[in-house]
Amino acid sequence: METTLRGVGVSHGVAIGEVRHMGTAVLEPPAKQIPAEEAEREQGRARQAVEAVAADLIARGNLAGGEAQHVLEAQAMMAQDPELMADVERRIAVGSTAERGVYDAFASYRALLAGAGEYLAGRVADLDDVRNRIVARLLGVPMPGVPDSDEPYVLIARDLAPADTALLDPALVLGFVTEEGGPTSHSAILARALGVPAVVALPGAGELAEGTLIAVDGSTGEIFVDPSDAKRAELESAAAARKAALTAATGPGATSDGHKVPLLANVGGPADVPAAVEAGAEGVGLFRTEFLFLDDSKQAPSEEKQIAAYRAVLEAFPEGRVVVRVLDAGADKPLDFLTPADEPNPALGVRGLRSLLDHPDVLRTQLTALSKAAEGLPVYLEVMAPMVADRADAKAFADACREAGLNAKFGAMVEIPSAALRARSVLQEVEFLSLGTNDLAQYTFAADRQVGAVSRLQDPWQPALLDLVALSAEAAKAEGKSCGVCGEAASDPLLACVLTGLGVTSLSMGAASIPYVRATLAKYTLAQCERAASAARAADSAEEARRAAQAVLSGE
């Protein structure tokens, strides 16, 4: 009998296939004591396992490229954390086996993360995956992971570690469903990069029996268990219609009556550029520069290394707009040379622009490198600061840009509610705003973007979040300046229409989402988008806002 479940759709498309479950977690190793003379050998085994796992994660990242590479390299750094390794060796020195020492040290570190505020608690799933890989290697057992199957299937998991998500084969994994995660979790971001339909935050997903036929709609978040022939035909027809619309829509982003809405790409480095160009991106709306700094948490990359990486991206978009975000360190991206190690809640501490203003040499080197990278190129370079709270922050960043001789527009990211509420004040110091809806939602609702239990508050359709977007866009219009969206909200085609109606002047997203947004925008006039935006803001919940906007655009 057909039943319907609902999670959070995070990657467009429809997948119909049989359920296959992710392998179970590594078993807890036995707690047995070893003689003192074996401690040195066990410590060596532990070090070798850690290095092997880190090397494997880096190799997987090199194979995957793009966003996945940055995530996996960060995981490799987690595995090699010197304090964590020192704890492992201390435990072995007092009698633990290598595998038990690793297990207990990671358990202790896990407890610290879980209790350090929700932002860092979101890293627990990544930490657990690293632990499992090290323990599995020490025990000499295969690492549980993606099931071995010759037939295509829909993957079900409690959560997907980045190392597993990055190397999914879209020819075999038709789509995936997870019990945990949210719209901005690593698994969601990587699913969109792969173009695999995905639904997250579905309670009870693990209870679906192996081999059960399900249909996954990654756009609506709906899961149809044992779908009827009629439902399968309906979903396949809708998927075919979407594909036809994608093929038909080409060129710059615009509404049906010609209102231009540039569609830009979010990129994490040169590896992401080919997909952005292929998708028809009109430029880059968010160039994350953290990938350069995560290679070595002990020191910043040289100016020469930065110039080469920046120029590789800038050269790909002649006459296009490239918006670079300066280093956004802190919280879940700690750097030893930049961020405090003992903050009780790093998400609310010294992160983003605050870190850079405390280390002006790092900011100056990055701005100088960007200036030199753009020399002689016909590109429209724009540089923005993350985590701007007020006019004083904006002025400090603008002054730093001018002091570095940067020939570019400089702007501020709106990720903190205070910046949206006082947007006109911020715009006295900078030339544009860019809304990071992921963090803006996190700080507006006190809801960690990596925690599935609060995913409803991370939904970018929340009317309170739309109100903050509207405030920012209205302020930019009043000042004659631009206001884009570079958060994951822009990747939702229906929401892209609402954002346009709110007055947003450009949309930036993962490359895989650009064709969907282009095709949907082209179906509606600006006036229709504005009416949909008004209807969404008048609602009292995210679900009501989505339905209200859909009703307006469908003419109901």
401 is catalytic: no
SS (H, E, C) 152-165: CEEEEECCCCHHHH
For residue 437, give the 3-state DSSP assignment.
helix
Q: Are 161 and 168 in contact (CB under 8 A)?
A: no
Catalytic residue among 12, 70, 186, 359: 186
186 is catalytic: yes
Close Cβ partners of 176 (under 8 Å, ≥ 6 residues apart): 154, 155, 156, 157, 160, 168, 187, 191, 196, 198, 199, 216
The closest of 404, 401, 407, 406 to 429, measured between CA atoms, is 401
The closest of 514, 486, 520, 510 to 263, measured between CA atoms, is 514
β partners of residue 409: 382
In the numeric block, the tokens 């879940």 are attached to: 332
β partners of residue 198: 11, 176
The closest of 411, 347, 419 to 390, measured between CA atoms, is 419
For residue 290, give the 3-state DSSP assignment.
helix
Q: What backbone torsions phi and psi does residue 212 show, to the nearest 5 degrees?
A: -65, 135
Catalytic residue among 359, 401, 483, 486: 486
Instruction: Extract the runs of DSSP E, i.e. beta strands, from 263-309.
Output: 263-267, 283-288
Catalytic residue positions?
186, 486
